[in-house]
């Protein structure tokens, strides 16, 4: 009963409050006042001051207004441009190849079936040592060929039996028979024994397939036990991942004479190269150049295309900046972002040339002392 009285008093008090609020201002309608937006905080872009924190935005002239707090969040870093004489470079198309001194290839010497080795069928990625038995190759022959081999074996066994009997008789008559006759019969018997052994082994024997180099099996061509392969078919390829090379095609036959150093860019991986030498015969109207990758690097694979950047003895004038400073603006044009004021950035279209795998030379578009954004340039280009 008391609980019912309490709920009744609470409802009555609520209705009294609503009635008092409704009559506070008579019949005035204040429903539109709740929909009015709050006044926006004023921002002075020119002076960089604001009553409330400003946001990153693109200005009418195409530059960007980036508050200091946003610069720290984006991790922007700049570097002053220093104009000077830089080594001219040439970009070549190349690909990663195995080092000829530390790689090998296993081919079938004749048609046959592949049988597993002591450690099973070799698979890609398995480490092998030079001279290790990878698999066995058992020759395949037709019924006629096998019949001929067995017939030859039977004939040799008959000849061996005759030669063995003759040699034993001559040995019993030693002294009455010339010594040269005895020696001749022994030699004939030994020769027939060897011939029989070779023919017998050729019928059902298997040839071991040995690893020609120490390294890792890079390709096994999906071989399975019992698979029939043709003669000269490539079965396994072995490479040393710590000893790889790069072959590049140069359309200037004299580039080797002015070459100072070279680097390569494989996607986002930078490779240091050592020039080994160049051929003297054109291939696809270009001269092949061979470079060795300095240091162990497991981030590249054989056959992977790379961009080889060759430094020559010629010089160009420009400013060296990291490759990360480059970005694309407008219709795919190359540009860099310059920090012109404390919170203002401007995109400058530039003409660039590669210096190495990590740096480029800006030949046109920058002035001495311009602060170039070297980290976070791609984020600034996404502002619309």
Both tokens assigned to 255: 């580039």
201/260 same-domain check: no
Q: Do both 79 and 115 map to the same domain?
A: no
Residue 142's φ and ψ, nearest 5 degrees, are -75, 170
Please, what is the Cα angle at 207 between 149 and 116, to 5 degrees?
Answer: 120
251 and 137, same domain (yes or no): no
Residue 194 DSSP SS3: helix
| Domain match, 108 and 235 both | yes
Residue 40 lies in a domain: no
Rounded CA-CA distance 36/232 in Å is: 85
Q: Pick 327 or 55 by higher pLDDT.
A: 327
Q: What is the pLDDT of residue 14?
A: 39
Angle between helices 143-172 and 179-204 (to 10 degrees): 160
What phi, psi does 175 have (nearest 5°)?
A: 105, -40
pLDDT single digits (tens) 350-369: 998 888 888 899 988 899 99
323, 291: one domain: no
Q: Which of 239, 269, 301 is the last residue of a domain?
A: 239
Is residue 292 in some structural domain? yes
5-23 tens-digit pLDDT? 444 334 333 333 333 433 3
Residues 123 and 229 occupy one common structural domain: yes
- The angle subtended at Cα 103 by Cα 279 and Cα 305, nearest 5°, is 60
> How many other CB atoms are there within 10 angstroms of residue 127's CB atom?
11
Q: Is residue 19 part of a domain?
A: no
Find the domain containing 298 and state its range. Answer: 243-313
CATH number at residue 196: 2.40.50.100
Same-domain status, 197 and 121: yes
Do both 139 and 201 map to the same domain? yes
Does 267 share its domain with 171?
no
Q: Provide, rounded to the nearest whole percent, the portion of the chain with pLDDT above 90.
A: 37
Residue 39 and residue 27 in contact, taking contact as beta carbons nearer than 8 Å: no
Task: List, in sequence order, the alpha helices (H) in the chain.
Answer: 2-22, 68-74, 143-172, 179-204, 255-258, 377-381
Residue 174: inside a domain: yes
Q: Helix, strand or coil for residue 253?
A: coil
**pTM as predicted:** 0.62
* Burial of residue 291, with CB atoms counted within 10 A of its CB: 0-12 exposed, 13-18 middle, 19 or more buried: buried
Vertex 155: Cα angle to 150 and 161 (nearest 5): 125
Give the rounded distance of the alpha carbon of 99 from its chain centre: 16
Same domain, 162 and 272: no
Which of 260, 284, 313 delimits the end of a domain? Answer: 313
CA distances from 24 to 11, 13, 358 (A): 20, 17, 74
User: What confidence score (pLDDT) does residue 34 get?
Assistant: 37
The domain tally of the chain equals 3
């Amino acid at each position: 009963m008391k609980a019912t009285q309490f709920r009744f008093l609470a409802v009555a008090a609520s209705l009294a409050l609503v009635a008092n609020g409704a009559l506070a201002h008579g019949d005035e309608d204040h429903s539109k006042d709740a929909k009015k937006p709050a006044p926006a905080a004023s921002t002075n872009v020119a002076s960089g001051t604001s009553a409330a924190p400003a946001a990153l935005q693109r200005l009418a002239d195409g530059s960007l207004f980036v508050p200091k707090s946003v610069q720290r969040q984006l991790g922007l870093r700049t570097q002053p441009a220093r104009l000077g004489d830089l080594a001219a470079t040439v970009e070549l198309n190349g690909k990663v190849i195995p080092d000829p001194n530390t790689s090998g290839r296993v081919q079938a010497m004749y048609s046959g079936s592949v049988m597993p080795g002591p450690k099973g069928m070799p698979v890609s990625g398995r480490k092998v040592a030079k001279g290790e038995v990878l698999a066995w190759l058992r020759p395949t022959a037709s019924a006629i060929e096998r019949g001929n081999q067995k017939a030859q074996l039977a004939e040799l066994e008959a000849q061996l039996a005759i030669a063995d009997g003759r040699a034993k008789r001559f040995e019993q008559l030693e002294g009455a028979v010339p010594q040269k006759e005895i020696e001749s019969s022994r030699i004939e018997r030994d020769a027939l024994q060897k011939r029989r052994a070779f023919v017998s082994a050729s019928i059902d024997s298997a040839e071991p397939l040995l690893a020609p180099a120490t390294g890792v099996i890079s390709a096994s061509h999906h071989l399975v036990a019992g698979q029939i392969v043709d003669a000269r078919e490539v079965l396994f390829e072995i490479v040393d991942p710590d000893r790889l090379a790069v072959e590049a095609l140069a359309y200037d036959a004299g580039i080797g004479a002015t070459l100072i150093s070279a680097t390569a860019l494989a996607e986002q991986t930078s490779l240091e190269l050592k020039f080994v030498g160049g051929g003297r015969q054109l291939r696809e109207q270009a001269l092949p150049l061979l470079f060795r990758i300095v240091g162990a690097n497991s981030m590249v694979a054989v056959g992977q295309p790379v961009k080889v950047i060759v430094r020559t003895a010629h010089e160009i004038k420009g400013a060296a900046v990291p490759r990360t400073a480059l970005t694309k603006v407008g219709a795919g044009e190359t540009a860099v972002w310059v920090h012109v004021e404390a919170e203002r950035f401007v995109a400058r279209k530039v003409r660039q040339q590669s210096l190495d795998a990590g740096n480029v030379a800006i030949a046109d578009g920058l002035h001495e002392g311009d602060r170039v954004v070297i980290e976070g340039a791609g984020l600034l280009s996404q502002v619309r």
